[in-house]
Structure 1
Amino acid sequence: MTTHTGEMLTLERMRADIAKMVHEDPEAIALDDNLMDLGLDSMRVLNLLVRWNETGIGLDFSELAEHTTLQGWWEVVQRRLAQIQDSPTR
């Protein structure tokens, strides 16, 4: 999905954005790491959501709050991308 800024929301971008937020190298963020244990709190998650929603994906905080791993968040994103692609008004 292209974005308002020309960027796509990818797993790699999500990993890099999370890593920057918690002052880690992207390679240090595993798919199954508990992101809250790495230092993400609700304010940081909201900041990530603002950045990611600039892509037009329209994620909601409650969707991500149900998950604590990058894998869980990526699955939410994939479901949302599929919904957008299947939408007749895209």
Structure 2
Amino acid sequence: MTISPASPLTLEQMRADIARMVHEQPEDIALDDNLMDLGLDSMRVLNLLVRWNESGIGLDFSEIAEHTTLQGWWSVVEQRLAQMQA
């Protein structure tokens, strides 16, 4: 599913995209799971960032790479969304 520029990125969308990438169910991805332990590698993360940046959020790999959990990634997204609305 492609996010249109008018659609903000949501935690649920991120969870679903990560789950698809690691062949899991979204409900099996907890906020504090180490995503690298679930099978994400740098190439998969880059693919996710390309998809998520279609929403216009402009995430950078280095921002995301500082975190290994969905909660950490969501915190980065929340900060970016707040900047976009300011």
Structure 1 length-normalised TM? 0.89
What is the rounded CA distance, in whole Å, between the counterparts of 1:7 and 1:46 in structure 2? 20
Unaligned runs of 5+ in 2: none
Runs ≥4 in structure 1, deviation > 2 angstroms? none
TM-score for both structures, normalised by structure 2:
0.93
Give the share of equivalent positions with the same residue, in percent: 80
RMSD: 1.2
Displacement after TM superposition at 1:33 (Å): 0.1
Alignment correspondent of 2:65: 65
- For 1:52, the equivalent position in structure 2 comes to 52
Q: Which runs of no fewer than 5 residues in structure 1 stay unpaired? A: none
Distance across 2 between alignment mates of 1:10 and 1:34: 19
SS in 2 for 1:48: helix
Instruction: Report which of the two structures shows the higher radius of gyration computed on alpha carbons.
Output: 1
Could you list the per-position Cα deviations for residues 13-57 of structure 1 after superposition, in whole angstroms to 9, with x for gaps in the alignment? Answer: 000000000000000000000000000000000000000000000
- Structure number with the bigger relative contact order (C-alpha 8 A, sep ≥ 6) is 2
